[in-house]
Structure 1
């Protein structure tokens, strides 16, 4: 039995070197055991002349590499063995690529990846809120998986000022120039200066990084809204990801006849990670209710998935997204349409209408009528709920709100006929 001792819970470098070596040596998965080093133990390393440097790289599909990077962060003791087994089977032709959905190892791998992605999103939201409020320099967080290290670069991008993330298993400290790691609260109450190790040095080389920019192939192959949303988490197709806290993807049900498309997330949506939850979202919800539409029975999204804003008096004020962002986000909107299969798409405002119609749009000329959008779907243009909030007086607001509700009733009537 070969024993592989890893330096820490996300020691990708050691796992990768050992996997590359023993897969090529055709060492069976059941002949290898994996564990994390205890205090004072030395991680696995091949002894000369049998050097890992002589091993050829493994030619793996990008999807599989991505899944390995993410699953390595799962709080599952058997994950190292599972990942080795999957790679071994693939490299030796024992994994049926045409029937991977039914494969028990792949199903388990997908479950680990999904758990890690969900918690990554939760952690990023927690860090974003911490960064925005800045009531202290330390964020105390208790993750269910080993996700902290892999999100170091994300945290730096969100907040360039010094900060510290403290978890039971790991501490992560950004001093404004360099990222450092040390043992967590469960191992040490106080961490002395000599306990910190710099990112990229010592054992902190090659750990996974969850910022994996999705490709067009990733988007096209997403089989559900959940997987599509996970792919969009690290979208870098335009510049809006840098100032925004997160990707705000659509929400709702697949295979619903009614889909709503707005402009972009606002300040509250950017913090909450959900579309239409701010002031405009409250108007939208009230209008839906009056029109007899249940929000949890439809799909709601935006043409642009990141919040574009400008700072003024310590507040983030909405800015209309530019054409670059609209074009960059169209692949996500098209993919959402493909999975939702709507009978009718309601376009809320100019940006949504122009994104879907791919031409200049004047709301006053095109609203309140249903037209054929393509062979499978019809369209309806109306105002964005935020327009109602900007009207100068209560009389105008009441009048336009009534028209907005009438447009939604028209949509409801169309999908039920």
Structure 2
């Protein structure tokens, strides 16, 4: 048996180099033992690596992206599975495109668990300020991920908190940042001092708590109990849940104040939202969205236009709202603006079919002019009403990067209503913490007709930037 010992950090790069060597020598998977840094020594010794073989070995970008993600899983079988996938790829170049293949489904399950764990780490790390010897403030945090995701998750914090020194300690290692990101071996859980900002955070958390809108199951799904011990706000949750029925009764007994006379005109347009269960899958969310009546747009539109693309897409592209053709066919971004987008993506090497395409608003808003339905921009209220569906798409897709086309998409994702001129081409962050690249909506370029060349070049620059990010 050939034993390959992998380091604590940069494991994927070490695996990739060894796997290429072994596959080139046509070594079968059954003859290889992949050992993590903490694996016990082999009692019977191990054979040396064979000399490099002459068999050509190549890998697709899709495979490398999937393999890199799977490599952060805690399963000891992941290396063997990836090596088997690499050797199979030499015979079947497109087998990863078949989601019904049990082997592919198994790899995707591992990758999805890793992506979800990274998302949880981004959401639930809580920093404590610690004494600093330099001019910059310093912070430290402790986190216990389910998988070995420190290397994958840490760059997010390096971008977001680049103006301070920090470290994140986990049972598998420590990430340090002092202008450059580095990793070191694990240490015992540090004693972190009480942070004054945590008290402010608790006050804010208690004040936004609405006792009449408790969904305990959904809350525990998004904020699993295992993370509570490191969250300063979590200690408030049991008491707030216990006191919620009393507060709701008090609100009911207090009754409503007398509304002004014009309120009747407003409330006449408000419909009581349909009570629906929290969807457990993307298809279930799509089916629920098809019956949405939360705003007036549902009455005139032909249908709800749900997102389209692979469920494991690393890139999500969010437009404003469906147009005339999208409303009739039920597919996002297929009209003139969508065709311009797809052409531009192809020019920079992005596959439109590999991205999840969707809109901030799911119903077509228009005014009738003769025989034509002319597009109208959705209001801020309509965008906010539809955020429920966009948030569900993001929860199930968990893209690595989101491209916001235009002001409506940027507002829906980030909550920032500022003009796009100074934001275009820059990375901002969505409410759920994911990176969002802001760019022009292709419809704006079309409206400029012969004068849109500069905006089109900027769109191409942003698409190329997006490609570089997801391939990094």
- Length-normalised TM-score, structure 1: 0.47
- Length-normalised TM-score, structure 2: 0.42
